[in-house]
Structure 1
Amino acid sequence: MEAEGYLPALHAVTEVLELSLDLDQIIYSTLTAITAGESFGFNRAFFLLVEPRKGRLRGYFAMGPASREEAARVWEELGRRGETVDDLIRKYSPTLFEREKEKFRTELDLLTFDVEELRGQGSPLITSIENKKAVLVRDALSREDVHPRLKEVLNVSEFAVVPLVNPKREVGVIIVDNFITGEEIRDGDIVALETFARGASLAISRALLVRKLEEKVRKLEESQRKIREYQKTIIEMEKKATRGELMHHLIHELKNPLVVIGGIVNALLDDFPEGSPQRPYMKAVVEEVRKLEGLLREVVNGIRNLSPADVAPVDLNGLIIEKASELKSYFDARSVDCRLELDGALPHLTLSPAQFNCVLDYLIGNAVEAMEGGGKLEIKTGMEGDEAVVCIKDNGPGIPADIRDRIFEPFFSTKGEGTGLGLYNALQIVRSMGGSIEVESEIGKGTLFRIKLPLDQGV
């Protein structure tokens, strides 16, 4: 085509190259102009993007017929509709772009290369970029400097490589060929294409910068969202700390009279010998005082464990191993066989080791107490999606279905000696870490508690 024949294509795409910030639209319009019959008229065009950080050229987009049959059909249809380059460019949409890209998905994957490998090969893809000059490749199928995958995809004896470069960066290359018509690529075609590519490279560079900026903005917005979440967490922790101070004061005010009452009643017991009708009443008061003191201790522990705590990257597996070792004599005394199955790939979590140890104490203690006469305790760790999971399973009698939903309620207990705060405290601690506790139980087979903690604790 004579030089003036390219002007309609250049005019049609100028608006997009000058005004658009959409990378895909710019590339689509550029390759449309290159392959349109009334402009450059190449049969196919491939755009390979330079990715400096990954050190590669990546097949990003392609345009043209995928076969001779498609070429005949498309060219006949375009001729019948009389669409111009301008019409084709204005038809752009993200859906159309993805459809065309999907058509060449396999070829684009094959046209992804390591830059150093190409440089060592003396590939025309690299020499074109480094010399900032188009390269016309003839006898391509027999040349050693043409990568085998490039030969496989193009399967032509002649193609041209046009660099997309500007003073500030190397953008990529465009590969063109005439694999359907077999028409020879002339020097004039290359000169015109080089001129056109300069404007395209500037537009693509601008769009890449905008895309990079948009990614930075997204990351900044995500960081701001996390900061807001952290602020809410801190405020909530401060509220809990204030409530905790109040509760500590109230508990202190309650505990002192209880101690006095217990001391007085114990002293009175000496005045009522065995067999005295008043002695059972005195012993009942002593027992109730003991229970109330135990209840207050549990409340204090719960408040302490929910108060702001020092957090650090923690190896959950390590904590569990230490806890199992610490409780060995406790297990032995109750004929409990404790088995660990820990996922070595479990990442560290940012949380309070002291708080998590309390959760283990509550849940392990609950499991052991459920297995009267001994049994098997299994502790496992693993991953489910973006959560770390700790499972504590016993083979005790199980929890009846009618009370299963109530076991995490404060002061609910099926044990005569229990305060009903252990599981409640465990759940509150895990929730303060952004996690959850699930329970599964089957009568006669045992109970499983599943602790789930997010990998990003947000603490």
Structure 2
Amino acid sequence: MTGTPINAAQLHSAFELFNRHSDQLEQSYRELQRRVEVLTAQLDVARSARHKELVAKEKLSQRLSLLLEALPGAIVVIDGDGVIQEQNSEALALLNEPLSGCAWASIVRREVREGGSEDGNIQLRDGRWLSLSRRPLANEPGEILLLADVTDSRQMTKLRERQERLTAIGETTAEFAHQVRTPLASAMLYASQLDVDTPARQRIAAKISERLNDLGRMVNDMLGFAAGGKRADEIVDVHTLFEGIRSTLGMQLGANTELSLLVNGTSIDREAADDDAIRFAANRNALQGALTNLIANADQAGGGVATIEVGAWTDNDNIYFTVSDDGPGIPEAIRHRLFEPFFTTRPQGTGLGLAVVADVARSHGGDVRVDTMTRGSRFTLRIPLIGPSNGDAND
């Protein structure tokens, strides 16, 4: 068998074709490599952007979580089946654990007082009141519940309503007391002129005067409570104040009641040096009314047979008035309510006398307290000193 000889030209042509295909393959490889580099760079950019996006979303999620925790209310997220999926710590504090994974209806049965719904609010079994707002989720079935503790605001609303009622009562009472005051004064004057030439008539006249004095105290309590004890800038001399109190009480105290009035431990019946006088700025009428109330209460507590001591002294910042008696004292169970308006333990009392005392103290920037002693009680009225507190006031 004889082979066909290869033409040199054909061989050369074949090599040229091979070289052209090699060049094309090399160019294609380079183009492919370039494309790979471009795609790799684009992928790196995409990965970087994706990473940044994930980081941003993570930061946003953390901020939202912190925001939910910082909200002054409970947040509860429930799904379309009414099952709790998320909640913040305030929700756990209000509704107790467990919450997550529980049906909202079961939480209501567990935590909410039966029948405890009023004005859109719900009451928990421990007595707290919560407001409840519901908002649907935007892109999925379910709701967001917002609960806030409104116990304090409800109490403030009730106190405001009570204050409004008291204001209305005070205005009506003041008008009534003003109308009663004039005929009452006339009746007291006529009673003092009754013929008491026999023991029987003396007893009747004494009873009439006693009841009229009781009515007079009620009227003064009503007027004092309605007017309030606003502080004034007049200079009050304690010695003169005590003399006015003794003159006002007059025959109103029990026949067997002993009243002592002391300034710096010295009776006002003894002549004192002007340096020992106490003078200060206050509302004279309001203060005299407050002390008169305390003395009258002590006399009534002792049944008209009492030893009452009223004292006054100062330190660098305050003046103190004390009213002490040897009566039965005040039960601890009611002591915290003594200064509430309209609280009284006497059938014929208005419950305003001690409320007026407390109001006078507050209006002067001071306070009043009560202490139970071995026998009897002691009320202490403290008033900050404004203005002169010694004899220099009148120089």
In the superposition, the TM-score normalised over structure 1's length comes to 0.35
> Of the two, which has the highest radius of gyration?
2
